[in-house]
Structure 1
Amino acid sequence: MPTVRRIAHEFLERQGMTTIFGNPGSNELPFLAGLPSSFRYVLGLHEGVVVGMADGYAQATGRPVLVNLHAAAGSGNAMGALTNAVYSRSPLVLTAGQQVRSAIGPEAMLANVDAPQLMRPLVGWSGEPSCAADVPRSLAQAVFEAELRRRPSYLSVPYDDWGAELDGNAALTLDRSVRWGLAPDEEQLRSLAEAVGAARDPVLVLGADLDTAGLFDRVVALAEHRELPVWVAPSPHRLPFPNRHRLFRGVLPAGIGAVSAALTGHDLVLVLGAPVFRYHQHIPGPYLPEGARLIQVTDDAGAAARAPMGQALVADPAPVLEALLDRLPAREPAQGPRYVPNPEPATGGGALHPEQVFAALRETQSPDTCYVVESTSTSSAWWRQMDLRRAGSYFFPAAGGLGFGLPAAVGMAMGLPGRPVVAVVGDGSANYGITALWTAARYEVPVTFVILRNGTYGALRWFGSLLGTPDVPGTEIPGMDFTALAAGYGVPATAVTGLAELHDRLKAAAAGPRLIQVDTCPTSPE
């Protein structure tokens, strides 16, 4: 008779989930025993890094990814990174080892008390099997819940369950499949096309979900077809539109009043694949400019339900895009080049300006490079100097949780073999996920890590000025040597201070991971 472990391994293999990111403890060893040779276990040295790597891998592949955590302590360590995976809508399947069943009630060491509650409300679903025979079904549910909800799920499994023998019913789990379909009907498409066609001055606001769904090129086609100006929704974790395209207007600011001001003059705001909106700074004001109407199209029912204004259509954006392209006549394109040139980079005093670093990346890296960015204080400089024209070119921590950049770049490179991956990370952010360097070295992952060192928490200094609190402690972090840290983890590293040397380092080929520390002057996000 098959064991729970054997059925679980075979189910995961059939689902294509043979790469596992984890940091195991004693409760997890019975699940990992006898892992088939087709599986790859990627070890991270901290659970936050493990989830960050899995998040990057899931976004790169578009597929569910298994994460192996240790009981309550390991799950707790992972929760900060999990917030990013929730808002990037990454289908992570988190499994955690539980004490043997007889030890849970007495709360023996490493018992995960009330395990399904631990990760709520972050995960979309969490559970613990009612008995050993229920483990295969519960594991399948965790996978399908993550896929259907596009949100991480969590499963706690007592470790004495894995060796239990099962009857013939357990094998039925192996052939299970669940599919998602959410197509708009004819009346919904007709009404939307009429609204866009009748608008005097419509504008597109695009979200990261469009890039996730592989709709980057179709969105460009729609914008050009109707000559629609394009904003990207606030706080994007992916880029759904080329940022130097002549129709690109920028990334919307993350304050209520500021968004309204940016959209002034438009009578229709069509939001595709984004929440309405992910505000950050508290900038009061009207949600929309006077005379404007908002229509949101998203396949995220929660995002549609919680929006404070507008009409929402919960549907797959793909057929909506095609319907608008088919039903609306093309407009005469404006004269001029399709892409606008980048401005000359600003210069710094005593250290390189971040714009100089980003211009150097643009000038030296392949156009198909995938950038994982975690440098909040340099966002304005980033969008001024980069020229990103391909899908899947930009990734950012979706919830703003620090510690995403280094590990996500490792997972991204594992999920995108053959595509260059560069992590651009501030010195403050880098410390939250620094152990990802060990995994990059251990598995020879070809990532270029660019650390911008300015000795401050730059975003905090900027917020201090916004909030009228410029004199708070804890915003200075001088004296860190990331080349020494990288060497300790086994990653070759160099420190550069000049622009010519930076160009030379970036142009040099590297087979495995490498780290470049660049001293930069402090800047603000705007």
Structure 2
Amino acid sequence: MAQPHGTGTPQRSVRDATLDVLRDHDLTTLFTNPGSTEVGFLAGLPEDLRLVLALHEGSVVGTATGWAIARDRPALVLLHTTAGLGNAVGALATARVNRAPLVVVVGQQDRRHLTLEPFLAGRLRDLAGDYPVRVEEPPTAQDVPGAVARCHHAAAHARGPAVVIVPMDDWAAPAEDSAVMAASRHVARADGVDGAAVDDLAALLTQADTPALVTGAGTDSEEGWAALTALAERLGAPVFQESFGARAGFPQDHPLFAGFLPADRPGLRATLAGHDTVLAVGAPVFRQYPYTEGALVEPGTRIGLLTDDPAEAYRSPVETAVLAPIPAALGALTSRVAPRQWSARYREAPEPLDRPAPGQPMWPAHVLEALAERAPADTIFVEETPSSRPEMHQRVPARRPLGFLSAAMGGLGFALPAAAGIRMARRDRPVIAVVGDGSSLYQVQALWSAARYGAGALFVVLSNGRYAVMDRLAEKHGAAPAWPDFPEVSVSGLSREMGCPARRVDTLDDLITVLDATVPTLRDRGEPLVLDVAVAVETEFQP
């Protein structure tokens, strides 16, 4: 390495300066599947940086997403030029819609011959489309540390992946201290709210005869749950969860919890018809699938929105949108509305299931009921079973913040790596992933990382040997599926080949036995376990 003239002290490199930035911003766990363009950064990685290897970039980003959500702070990702970033785009889209803060460093070919488009050079700036909240392509090597710091701030405050593209020769270039200061060392955002900002929403609720609340990921925190519960109880208003919600924004065992909004407009109108005012808090207005004609709500129903997401505020078809820190704004709003009497319970517990007849397979509902009966209240459930998701919502309520997590984007391949990342970050809480066998195959490589890094989650795979949700959708179109089943695929066998312990479970009695032995160990467990549970095909599906 070059030395300053007249001294025997090695000159600080861009890599050295960037490592200091990473330490300053608590980015010392690195999720990666590296390639040659990243070796200059990774060779001789200091001991205070921890490297977590995943076997596919979707698993890299998925694991980092779980880690970031569980810790509520940015996670660090390192990807390999075009192939790595390209493989990760779907997972980055999920991270953006899940509002997971990621700092994503992408390796690039040597800066000195990029104009010749050498082997492994990538056209990287726009490869992930609009999903990054920021993309930095530093004009000089010395700008790299500041770019990393700026991307940390963008990821933390815009709640999504921020990308830095770094040519491989930049790491060895000499650093300039002034370049490191091209970004703030610390960015603070005020948590207070001007009371006047919520006056319009307070008036909206005060004038309402039958208000209702809708919530989602934006209130999924200790502060968010407490603040929204206080407002709901003051109003006596039912609280609905957004459709396709990726996180639970309200305690789903609370008497004011009214269930999940339908994802079609006729169902949405019918569900909200008895309410003259609807306030969405930390949730879109309103997520739908598929498209159906008509208005979102009945004529005369007034809609307001409280959010901390500017894009959500700008696009929502509402009378009034307030952009503010949600817990503080909810506190100000609650103090401005008069208390009302209430005694209703809006949602009853589901009926217990009959046991399968001798020789008959389990339904997914049997598995979910068994999990709900045994899982502690603070269990983090990660879901990716599209055909069984309505049943899971019915039988496995989220009882603590971060109690439910799913992929807001809808793409498959999220649950296995996310559950591993969550468990690595939150050793104090049990983690259970409930995944369809088709979904599990999208990122089955994540089980290797879970085993390698002691992510002691329980992975419950509902195995029916097909893409059941696609079969049901085909039936709705009056057609037979054009795709084959895959009953010969053994998820438990694949798991064991990945070094992850697994068991095949074929009967309810066997399931209960293994759950009774395993669930009590989940809080302290260091070894993951896959349960490959044979289930019957669902006969009904509601999107």
Normalised by the shorter chain, which TM-score bucket? Answer: over 0.9
**Does 2:251 correspond to 1:236?**
no
Of 342, 351, 365, 1:343 maps to 351
Checking the alignment, whether the CA contact within 8 Å between 2:380 and 2:402 is kept in structure 1 is yes
Q: Partner residue of 2:257?
A: 248
Q: Which amino acid aligns with 1:518?
A: V
Deviation at 1:335? 6.5
Say what the alpha-carbon RMSD is for the aligned residues.
1.9
Q: CA offsets, 1:441-460, max 9 Å, x none?
A: 11121111100001221221
SS in 2 for 1:68: strand
The equivalences for 1:40-55 within 5 A come to 40-55=50-65
Distance in 1, matches of 2:38 and 2:261, equals 44
Distance in 1, matches of 2:163 and 2:280, equals 31
SS in 1 for 2:413: coil
Distance in 2, matches of 1:130 and 1:522, equals 55
SS in 1 for 2:125: helix
Deviation at 1:217? 2.5
Distance in 1, matches of 2:179 and 2:398, equals 48
**Does 2:120 correspond to 1:110?**
yes
**Does 2:445 correspond to 1:445?**
no
Q: Partner residue of 1:318?
A: 327
Checking the alignment, whether the CA contact within 8 Å between 1:244 and 1:342 is kept in structure 2 is no
Q: Partner residue of 2:530?
A: 515
Q: Structure 2 vs 1, CA of residues 82 and 287 (structure 1 numbering), >3 Å: closer, same or farther?
A: same
Of 275, 278, 282, 2:284 maps to 275
Checking the alignment, whether the CA contact within 8 Å between 2:258 and 2:347 is kept in structure 1 is no
The equivalences for 1:23-34 within 5 A come to 23-34=33-44
Q: Partner residue of 2:8?
A: none
Checking the alignment, whether the CA contact within 8 Å between 2:29 and 2:75 is kept in structure 1 is yes
Distance in 1, matches of 2:332 and 2:427, equals 34
Q: Which amino acid aligns with 1:521?
A: A
Distance in 2, matches of 1:246 and 1:445, equals 35
The equivalences for 1:130-209 within 5 A come to 130-172=139-181, 176-181=185-190, 183-209=192-218
Deviation at 1:122? 1.3
Deviation at 1:146? 1.1
Q: Which amino acid aligns with 2:226?
A: D
Distance in 1, matches of 2:28 and 2:182, equals 17
Checking the alignment, whether the CA contact within 8 Å between 1:50 and 1:67 is kept in structure 2 is yes
Deviation at 1:196? 0.6
Q: CA offsets, 1:183-232, max 9 Å, x none?
A: 54332322221221120110001011110574122212221222111111
Q: CA offsets, 1:341-388, max 9 Å, x none?
A: 442136667211111111110112222111111001111211221132
**Does 2:84 correspond to 1:74?**
yes
Q: CA offsets, 1:382-402, max 9 Å, x none?
A: 122113211110000110110
Using the aligned pairs only, state the percent identity. Answer: 37
SS in 2 for 1:93: strand
Q: CA offsets, 1:58-93, max 9 Å, x none?
A: 110000111110001110000111121010111111
Q: Structure 2 vs 1, CA of residues 493 and 334 (structure 1 numbering), >3 Å: closer, same or farther?
A: same
SS in 2 for 1:517: strand
Q: Partner residue of 1:12?
A: 22
Distance in 2, matches of 1:308 and 1:327, equals 24
Of 272, 296, 302, 1:287 maps to 296
Structure 2: gaps spanning 5 or more residues: 1-10
Deviation at 1:309? 4.2
SS in 1 for 2:420: helix
Deviation at 1:314? 1.4
Structure 1: gaps spanning 5 or more residues: none
Distance in 1, matches of 2:183 and 2:326, equals 31
Q: Partner residue of 1:95?
A: 105
Checking the alignment, whether the CA contact within 8 Å between 1:343 and 1:384 is kept in structure 2 is no
**Does 2:424 correspond to 1:414?**
yes
Distance in 1, matches of 2:184 and 2:12, equals 16
Distance in 2, matches of 1:175 and 1:306, equals 31
Distance in 2, matches of 1:387 and 1:315, equals 28
Q: CA offsets, 1:488-507, max 9 Å, x none?
A: 01111111121121111112
SS in 2 for 1:117: coil
**Does 2:438 correspond to 1:428?**
yes
Q: Partner residue of 2:5?
A: none
SS in 1 for 2:220: helix
Distance in 2, matches of 1:180 and 1:144, equals 11
Checking the alignment, whether the CA contact within 8 Å between 1:120 and 1:126 is kept in structure 2 is no
Distance in 2, matches of 1:76 and 1:443, equals 25
Q: Structure 2 vs 1, CA of residues 260 and 475 (structure 1 numbering), >3 Å: closer, same or farther?
A: farther
Checking the alignment, whether the CA contact within 8 Å between 1:265 and 1:289 is kept in structure 2 is no
SS in 1 for 2:407: coil
Distance in 1, matches of 2:478 and 2:19, equals 54
Q: CA offsets, 1:109-146, max 9 Å, x none?
A: 11012x21212211111121101111111111111111
SS in 2 for 1:490: coil
**Does 2:137 correspond to 1:122?**
no
SS in 2 for 1:118: coil
SS in 1 for 2:172: coil
**Does 2:495 correspond to 1:494?**
no
Of 397, 407, 411, 1:387 maps to 397
Q: Partner residue of 1:478?
A: 487
Q: Partner residue of 2:67?
A: 57
Q: Structure 2 vs 1, CA of residues 51 and 368 (structure 1 numbering), >3 Å: closer, same or farther?
A: same
Distance in 2, matches of 1:253 and 1:94, equals 35
SS in 1 for 2:126: helix
Worse-matched range after superposition: 167-176 or 483-492: 167-176
TM-score normalised according to structure 2 size: 0.92
Deviation at 1:308? 3.5
TM-score normalised according to structure 1 size: 0.95
SS in 2 for 1:209: helix
Q: Structure 2 vs 1, CA of residues 504 and 348 (structure 1 numbering), >3 Å: closer, same or farther?
A: closer
**Does 2:410 correspond to 1:400?**
yes
SS in 2 for 1:49: helix
Checking the alignment, whether the CA contact within 8 Å between 1:353 and 1:521 is kept in structure 2 is yes
Distance in 2, matches of 1:43 and 1:173, equals 31
Distance in 2, matches of 1:410 and 1:455, equals 24
Moved over 3 A (4+): 170-175, 181-184, 338-342, 346-349
Distance in 2, matches of 1:444 and 1:521, equals 32
Distance in 2, matches of 1:107 and 1:203, equals 57
Checking the alignment, whether the CA contact within 8 Å between 1:256 and 1:286 is kept in structure 2 is yes
Distance in 2, matches of 1:341 and 1:301, equals 37
Worse-matched range after superposition: 80-89 or 516-525: 516-525
Distance in 2, matches of 1:345 and 1:304, equals 42
Distance in 1, matches of 2:478 and 2:59, equals 32
Q: Structure 2 vs 1, CA of residues 242 and 345 (structure 1 numbering), >3 Å: closer, same or farther?
A: farther
Q: Which amino acid aligns with 2:17?
A: I
Checking the alignment, whether the CA contact within 8 Å between 1:370 and 1:422 is kept in structure 2 is yes
Distance in 2, matches of 1:160 and 1:118, equals 22
Distance in 2, matches of 1:214 and 1:31, equals 39
Distance in 1, matches of 2:97 and 2:159, equals 10
Aligned length: 523
Q: Structure 2 vs 1, CA of residues 110 and 280 (structure 1 numbering), >3 Å: closer, same or farther?
A: same
Distance in 2, matches of 1:472 and 1:282, equals 22
